[in-house]
Structure 1
Amino acid sequence: MKLVTFDLPGGQRHIGAMLAGEQRLVDFTASSTSPAMRNMLALIDGGEAALKEARQLLDKAAVTHALADVKLAAPLPEPRQMRDFLCFEKHFRQARANRHLFGATDGERDPAKVEIPPIWYEEPIYYKCNRFSVVGTGADIVNPAYCQMLDYELEFAAILGKSGKNIRKEDARSHIFGYLIFNDVSARDQQMREMGGTLGPTKGKDFDTGNVLGPWLVTADEVGNPYDLTMVARVNGEEWSRGNSGEMHHRFEDVLVHASRDETLHAGEFFGSGTVGSGCGLELGRFLKHGDVVELEIQKLGVLKNRVVFRHASQ
């Protein structure tokens, strides 16, 4: 199923699922009095019983809306926790090679000669995102006042469907509820400054509209193998980035094993893949400007589309 959170014209927020053709959706909240159909976290918390009911509601299609008549929100508007990992080696190398853009090195470097810290290969590293700054497809990405180099990041994410601690690798896939597209918007100049202090990122990532999720949350059964998905980014219709999810060095199973070491993970948590190789402007030496329209497309997961807005006159 392609699960959605959406706002009706009167402002009521409901959940549902897309019908074939992706032009209409079934309204689960209006079709059922079940507490599991109130919001996406409730549906995830409901486990297999709630998923079974959702599939039945989708088949009946008792209450539907045209996609054009509602406003999609982020499928999971407020995840219980957000962790974003750095799983693609090509991105790591190319991003480090381009630090000369910020004066961090004397000149451009060969990505193949960039030194990667040994710990990156030993375990999946991550930071925790601001789970309150989430928006969905169609929302404006508002450039923070302190940023001159705004960047997109082409990522996807897994949403946890089952809580666990010290999760075994062979069991990890069964904990995943579904997948969605993630645009990890970055204030690159701020990020480069603050990470010189060996902690962070902080304000390079944490600002309103900085975490874009959507357009829908696709259940794991519909995705099948998550490690062979074509990933593409376009800006104003021009392709900037292309990669494949199979290039992940650390996969979601590794991520869940590591994150759950002596720590309980909860249903409804978000785990980002990190940026696919060549999947951001930093790697390409180009950044976003006012009015740009960014489209991130991942096979089986849809298209996440947003406009960039610079609201500060000095920019």
Structure 2
Amino acid sequence: MRLASFIEVDGAAAPVRVGVVTDERIHPFDDALTMREVVERGLPYALAAGDAALARRGLPLDGVRLLAPLEPASVRDFVAFAEHVEGVRRSIDGASGVPDAWYDAPTFYFTNPHRIFGPGDDIAFPAHSIARDFELEVAVVVAERGTSLTVEDAAAHVFGYTLFNDWSARDLQGREMQVSLGPAKGKDFATSIGPWIVTADELAPYRDDDGFLDLWCTVLVNGVEVGRDLLSNSGWTFEAMIAYASRDSAVVPGDLLGSGTVGNGGCLAELWGRHGRQEPPPLRDGDTVTITVEHLGALTNRVTSAPPVPPIPPPRRRDPARARGADA
């Protein structure tokens, strides 16, 4: 099933609802639940509620506005495609190859669950960023709480999948990562997801023999294709990512885990690293980016600029040893 969060366009102060999307209609759930609450009740509940919703006529899709399908409990973003790592390293810090540590485990970072955007939303980049980029990814939605899961056990913790665009200010990212932390401000201004969540059962037929989802992923900028790759070129399955995220920690219902950016033009920075120049050029105000994944749908957003922000003062420069001596 394709499960979406939506509001009715003509409804006065219409509440956010959850429904099942078919070709031309959306069929609201009977219960007034958010998508997070649906996920917390589990996939069997969602499928049963969806079946009940499909028995009703529903609403025309052109009479609703689709929102980001989920307000996630947390957002982890992995880096599971070696081709992406190689290209972006060359672009960001001039390094070549894939680090040996990449092969040890499916590394991830946490990003901001409070800046989630949906289909059709404008994406406001930091005003002073000029190296603006998209990232074509797929995210898995966690269905159940778990700690130190095995990869086999993690399969029961998959609720479904959605498109995931990890917008990136590469100039900010490159600067802050010189401190050996991050990315942070180069990433945390926006992540877009949607247009819906496709439940796990729908994608079972597209798994290859090793458990990877064999789906084509493409990205267009202003209608021109700049990247195309198979999701199955990932180094790890989504189950392995869930298992690693849970190791000595916990995953909970509503957690969102991004696959990391696909290769072969899944972001501009990879292409910049390979070409040795910023070609294609960075995103600019008014550009539209559409990411599409087979059987998952398409997600389009337009690039804008946020207002200028107030400055942060420079650090106080102080000799700690002299300061401690003065206090003695």
Normalised TM-score (structure 2):
0.85
1:219 equivalenced with 2:209 (yes/no): no
The RMSD of aligned alpha carbons is 1.6
Greater CA drift, 42-51 or 180-189: 42-51
Matches within 5 A, 1:193-272: 193-207=175-189, 210-224=190-204, 225=207, 227-272=213-258
Q: Which residue of 2 aligns with 1:284?
A: 271
Q: Which residue of 1 aligns with 2:152?
A: 170
Please point out which of 71, 90, 94 is paired with 1:97: 90
Please point out which of 17, 21, 29 is paired with 1:18: 21
Mapped partners of 1:304, 1:52: distance in 2: 24
Q: Which residue of 2 aligns with 1:27?
A: 28
Mapped partners of 2:306, 2:183: distance in 1: 23
Residue 312 of structure 1, CA deviation: 5.4
Normalised TM-score (structure 1):
0.88
Q: Which residue of 1 aligns with 2:2?
A: 2
Q: Secondary structure, in 3 states, of the residue corresponding to 1:128?
A: strand
Q: What are structure 1's unaligned runs of at least 5 residues?
A: none
Q: Which amino acid aligns with 1:56?
A: D
Please point out which of 132, 136, 142 is paired with 2:118: 136
Q: Which amino acid aligns with 1:308?
A: V
Residue 311 of structure 1, CA deviation: 5.2
Q: Secondary structure, in 3 states, of the residue corresponding to 2:289?
A: strand
Greater CA drift, 244-253 or 212-221: 244-253
Please point out which of 293, 296, 300 is paired with 2:291: 296
> C-alpha deviations, 1:263-308, integer Å up to 9, x for none?
1211110100000012001122331111111100000100001111
Q: What are structure 2's unaligned runs of at least 5 residues?
A: 273-280, 309-328
* Rg larger for: 2
> C-alpha deviations, 1:184-221, integer Å up to 9, x for none?
000110000000100011100111xx100001100000
Q: Which residue of 2 aligns with 1:309?
A: 304
Q: Secondary structure, in 3 states, of the residue corresponding to 1:157?
A: strand
Relative to 1, partners in 2 of residues 1:48 and 1:154: Cα closer, same or farther, differing over 3 Å? closer
Residue 145 of structure 1, CA deviation: 1.4
Contact 1:158–1:178 at 8 Å: present in 2 too? Answer: yes
Mapped partners of 1:16, 1:132: distance in 2: 23
Residue 49 of structure 1, CA deviation: 4.6
- Kindly, what percent of the aligned residue pairs are identical? 38
Please point out which of 62, 68, 72 is paired with 1:74: 68
Between Structure 1 and Structure 2, how many residues are aligned?
A: 290
Q: Secondary structure, in 3 states, of the residue corresponding to 1:256?
A: helix
